[in-house]
Structure 1
């Protein structure tokens, strides 16, 4: 499928609702558990999404569309730590919903006619990227973290499912 902003926006609009439906009101065991080691918990993932709303997608869109330097600021992969400090999951979910609505309002205010999606910015690791690629990556980033949330949560019952694990793709099974 070719990138189409009109088809991308509905996915971006639904992400906060999907994540809230999955996580809101769950016991701490679900939201503070990870896949082992330094992997992220669901609360880390939501804080990461908030940090991205503040520093990544729309700010980088504005850099591409603005005047002057097209160089992106490097993304802080630990920025989520300060975002989640002292906040409950419910507070983070509310903040994510508000930030996403604000960012989508800004996105919808852009005139996407002409060659605007071919404008470029400079990513610190990837080099030259187009607005089209940035916006498509935003959609896939959301879907990646929805998948990650499912995987992290499923991991908590990896032992409990016993022999059914072989059928559970989210746990590395065949399906």
Structure 2
């Protein structure tokens, strides 16, 4: 696994997200084509929470705390529970970019991670490397 390449891709993707939402009005950020769909703001809020509470945490637990269960997540439920569509887009994007920088620093700081370290998940066996590539 080419850690440097994947970390660079993650940094570039964060900037792509910043550029994609730059100039979006508040009305556009909150708009949903139908009640079951997510607004732009909800998508960015989802990315922020996933960045902070899902991938990095699951990789950390898989690599460093293999006997501890992964903390639970509820991405679908968080949309309404955490009132994503009531947030401010600018603050949410900045929060995501900050969290992504923290993730990149954390990844760069890993010392010879065993990406083949695995654990059982509800959907089957998954390695730290699988989680990482899903994140990218």
* TM-score, normalised with respect to structure 1: 0.68
Deviation at 1:54, TM superposition (A): 1.6
Q: For structure 2, list consecutive stretches of 5 or more residues without a partner in the other structure.
A: none
CA RMSD of aligned residues (A): 2.0
Q: For structure 1, list consecutive stretches of 5 or more residues without a partner in the other structure.
A: 140-175
| Matched position secondary structure for 1:96 | helix
Q: How does 1:9-158 map onto structure 2 within 5 Å? A: 9-77=7-75, 78-81=77-80, 82=82, 84=84, 86-112=86-112, 116-123=114-121, 125-139=122-136
Q: Is the 1:71–1:122 Cα contact (8 Å) retained in structure 2?
A: no
Q: Is the 1:51–1:80 Cα contact (8 Å) retained in structure 2?
A: no
Deviation at 1:85, TM superposition (A): 6.3
| Matched position secondary structure for 1:7 | helix
Instruction: State the distance in 2 between where 1:86 and 1:46 align.
Output: 12
Change (3 A) 1:84 1:37: closer
Instruction: State the distance in 2 between where 1:122 and 1:70 align.
Output: 12
Instruction: State the distance in 2 between where 1:98 and 1:42 align.
Output: 19
| Matched position secondary structure for 2:115 | helix
Residue deviations 1:99-123 (CA, integer Å, cap 9, x gap):
110111111111236xx01001332
Instruction: State the distance in 2 between where 1:118 and 1:71 align.
Output: 18
* TM-score, normalised with respect to structure 2: 0.86
Q: Is the 2:41–2:87 Cα contact (8 Å) retained in structure 1?
A: no
